[in-house]
Amino acid sequence: MKTSEVIPCSAFMAVVEYMKRSLTFTFPEGKRDGQGRWFPSEREDCGLTATIRAPSRAWPNSYWKAAHSLKHCAALHGVTIDEARRALKALRLHHSDMAISRLTADQIGTLAGGAA
């Protein structure tokens, strides 16, 4: 990563959310229907249902799996996937995935060089 690149604080927040979901510390908001298919809440959707195949009885977790991706967490926090990838790369230089999942907003603000 170039030293002149500025990574927004929200990109670091997206990475922390991604790590929490990957390690199953948190889960996306949503509900399952009577057939076991998972659907995201309105806030959680952020375009997810427009780009992923709808769940079916045979594949009930298509939205669930997509809601755990870095791309989706980046969209939730209003950053591009490239910004989120740069933030993930920067964090993994000095932190394990477990340590990343435990970062607080204040710590992220310090890492990003400003207030969270």
pLDDT digits (tens, 9 = 90+) for 3-37: 557 899 999 999 999 999 999 999 999 999 999 99
Q: Which residue, among 34, 35, 28, 33, has the nearest Cα to 64 in the 3D structure?
A: 28
Dig out the tokens for 86 from the structure.
Answer: 């740069």
pLDDT value of residue 116: 43
Taking the C-alpha atoms of residue 90 and residue 81, their distance in angstroms, rounded to an integer, is: 14
- For 34-75, the pLDDT digits (tens) are 999 999 999 999 988 998 999 999 999 999 999 999 999 999
Residue type at 36 in one-letter notation: G
Q: What are phi and psi of 71, to 5 degrees?
A: -60, -45
Taking the C-alpha atoms of residue 97 and residue 44, their distance in angstroms, rounded to an integer, is: 23
DSSP summary character for residue 55: P
